[in-house]
Chains A and B, each alone.
Chain A
Amino acid sequence: MTRVTIENLDRSYGGVRALKEISLEILSGEFVVLLGPSGCGKSTLLSAIAGLDPVQGGRILFDGRDVSQLEPSAREIGMVFQSYALYPTMTARKNMSFALRVGGASAAEMDARVNWAAQLLQIEPLLDRKPGAMSGGQRQRVAIGRALVRKAKLFLFDEPLSNLDAKLRNEMRIEIRSLHDKLGTTFIYVTHDQIEAMTLASRIAVMDRGEIQQFGTPDEIYRRPMTRFVADFIGSPGMSFLDASLDADGAAAALDGGRLPLSGYGYIDPPTGATKVTLGIRPERVIVDRAPGPGRLAARVRGVEPLGADSVIWLNLGGQTLSARVSPDQAQDLPPEVYVAFDLQGISLFDPITGLRL
């Protein structure tokens, strides 16, 4: 088990800064997911933690020990790659024992470790097959097994499920989760898939353009996004953003369709005067009514997307787009004009210029 401390990490490729002064404290035994769109620097950060990519500034510490200059093999890590990266000319057994072999372990020890990992992952029947004779899911299991065999104190996963089909991905997700529960080792997991992040992580680091936008539990990330980017990136369908004017005391906001009470909103810094804000609202926190009422705003229905379990209604609120997630019954036979109210729990206010949460 390893506590990972990252201090002011910097990495540039040519003129592009892939990582900008990244600092992160990952506790021992945590399951941390690095989440972000492609090009956000999440894989670069993982490579830096693994030692595969040299860093230009800052330090990486494992349990307080500076490992920034150590080779990957000296960091006691196990790593699983998106393309599995199994050695194609070796059987699963040889693949899994490779690290021990180059480390000079005895045959008995290699057998014991491989059998232990194979049993844990239920891949014993595959041990004498080569990667070419396995399915994608089996290969990924063997790749995880190869990482396990090394007695690593830290496991790194670089988009391990992206090459699998949807059903297999769900199964493997559950397996990786239970593997973490069994081993109790620190896991760092890179993905662009927010569902993987939300279901697996004990904490998520949302990254964009080489910076960590927010580091928190899945619940915090979802309910209290600290920047507009995080609010926009997490959730499907995404949060709707509306331009609004905040009253001087912050207790209400004026929108195109009417006024919205905001008393009880948890401001980080209470507003000091009337100001323009971006008001974000989660679709499932939009209440759709067919009749006007106090605190309800008039909106035009633009379309309905049935998703099976629920439906998404796309609305036009004074020229701005708003989505609402409702039950399929509610979405049936809608009049062209409806009235919406917002649940305060689903509202986030952002500074329209800096994008920071208010």
Chain B
Amino acid sequence: MTATRRAARIGLYSFLILSAAFFAIPMLIIVLTSLKTADEVRAGSIFELPSAPGLAAYAKAWSEACIGRSCTGIGTNFWNSVIITLLSTSISLLLSSLNGFALALWGLRRAGWVLGLLLIGAFIPYQVMIYPLVRMFAMGGMHNTLGSIVTVHVLFGLPILTLIFHNFYLSLPPELLKAARVDGAGFFQIFGLIILPMSVNVLLVAAILSVTGVWNDYLLGLIFAGPKFQPMTVSLNGLVGTQFGVPEYNVNMAATLLTALPPLLLYLLAGKYFVRGVTAGAVKG
């Protein structure tokens, strides 16, 4: 290895380490702080290691921390988020895979138009649609219900998920469909017995996109979920904003980590698919 190449290597790695540190240091501070007691947080520097690391802050954040006047932690909201995410993701996947299949392979007239409209839907900032949606839900009598938050998530998830499925199905040989039609299978039999079993990878990709999107959402949860099904992100904001006397940074950090944990775990367990999900919209097939 020549001297210049070595220098280039060193430069490259320093840049990478610096970039990683840029993201890792705040994360480190969150983890360290969440393991300390409230007194220790106030006394020392944020970079100091906890003298007696403990999970007390997590327990408090989960079940005792006060959000506004109720002091029940964010545990119940965790389950709200789970319900909202599971419902939204499963309905989104079902509808968007069916949509993508019909648009890509069923030879519908004007399928291109529908796709174009969907693409527009994927690029319009959803904040634009919030007010009309609130009015519509209010008129329908389902404002601030589980139904409304799930409906909203499904609606906003559909365009991009449909595109992902559509692009995947386009890559399947059209003769497969012809063979199934000669064999006498109908639309739903072809979809359920032949197409879905072939879609495991793309289903995973779409599920990851949907789960992270729904779980991390704050604005829609704040507006549409209502008090009974408030998701974890909204309650986290409430928890951090609620102060009686001295702010408990360790509890705030623990609550933040708890909220961020599911997408993090998903990333660790299915990182390969996660990357595919991120690039899925960019590259066809």
Assess whether B175 is interfacial by the CB under 8 Å rule: yes
A98 to B180, CA, bound (A): 8
A99 to B181, CA, bound (A): 9
Q: Which residues of chain A (276-294) have a CB below 8 Å from chain B?
A: none
- Which of these binds chain B: A81-89, A120-128, A223-231? A81-89
- Which of these binds chain A: B183-191, B214-222, B276-284? B183-191
B182 and A82 form a contact (CB under 8 A): no
Q: Interface residues of B toward A: which range?
A: 10 to 19
A47 to B184, CA, bound (A): 15
B194 and A72 form a contact (CB under 8 A): no
Which of A52, A86, A87, A88 sits near B182, CB closer than 8 Å? A52
Assess whether B28 is interfacial by the CB under 8 Å rule: no
Assess whether B245 is interfacial by the CB under 8 Å rule: no
Task: Report A18 CB to chain B, min CB distance, Å.
Answer: 15
Given A73-B184, A102-B183, A85–B178 Cβ distance below 8 Å? yes
Given A87-B194, A89-B194, A89-B198, A98–B185 Cβ distance below 8 Å? yes
A52 and B183 form a contact (CB under 8 A): no
Assess whether B265 is interfacial by the CB under 8 Å rule: no
Task: Report A248 CB to chain B, min CB distance, Å.
Answer: 56
Report chain B residues within 8 Å CB of A86.
Answer: 179
A77 and B198 form a contact (CB under 8 A): no
Report chain B residues within 8 Å CB of A71.
Answer: 181, 184
A301 to B58, CA, bound (A): 96
Task: Report B111 CB to chain A, min CB distance, Å.
Answer: 16
A109 to B257, CA, bound (A): 59
Report chain A residues within 8 Å CB of B179.
Answer: 79, 81, 85-87, 146
**Which residue of B has the minimal Cβ distance to A149?**
B183
A89 to B196, CA, bound (A): 10
B175 and A99 form a contact (CB under 8 A): no
Assess whether B49 is interfacial by the CB under 8 Å rule: no
Task: Report B195 CB to chain A, min CB distance, Å.
Answer: 10
Assess whether B176 is interfacial by the CB under 8 Å rule: yes
Report chain B residues within 8 Å CB of A103.
Answer: 184
A158 to B174, CA, bound (A): 13
Assess whether B44 is interfacial by the CB under 8 Å rule: no
Report chain B residues within 8 Å CB of A83.
Answer: 173, 175
A82 to B176, CA, bound (A): 11
A78 to B193, CA, bound (A): 20
Report chain B residues within 8 Å CB of A73.
Answer: 181-185
Given A85-B173, A89-B197, A102-B189, A150–B183 Cβ distance below 8 Å? yes
Contact with B along A75-108 (1 / 0, CB 8 A): 0011101110111110000000011001100000
Report chain B residues within 8 Å CB of A87.
Answer: 176, 179-180, 194
Report chain A residues within 8 Å CB of B194.
Answer: 87, 89
A86 to B185, CA, bound (A): 14
Given A85-B173, A87-B176, A77–B182 Cβ distance below 8 Å? yes
A123 to B181, CA, bound (A): 24
Which of A78, A81, A150 sits near B175, CB closer than 8 Å? A81
Report chain A residues within 8 Å CB of B178.
Answer: 47, 50, 52, 72, 79, 81, 85
Contact with B along A114-146 (1 / 0, CB 8 A): 000000000000000000000000000000001
Report chain B residues within 8 Å CB of A146.
Answer: 179, 183
Report chain B residues within 8 Å CB of A81.
Answer: 175, 178-179
Task: Report B173 CB to chain A, min CB distance, Å.
Answer: 5
A78 to B198, CA, bound (A): 24
A72 and B173 form a contact (CB under 8 A): no
**Which residue of A has the minimal Cβ distance to B194?**
A87
23 CB < 8 A contacts A-B = A47-B178, A50-B178, A52-B181, A52-B182, A72-B181, A72-B182, A73-B185, A77-B182, A78-B182, A81-B175, A83-B175, A85-B173, A85-B175, A85-B176, A87-B180, A87-B194, A89-B194, A98-B185, A98-B193, A99-B182, A99-B184, A102-B189, A158-B175
- Listed from nearest, the 4 A-B pairs whose CB atoms lie closest are A73-B184, A99-B183, A85-B175, A85-B179
Apart from A73-B181, A77-B182, 9 more pairs, CB < 8 Å = A50-B182, A52-B182, A73-B182, A73-B185, A85-B173, A85-B175, A87-B176, A98-B183, A99-B182
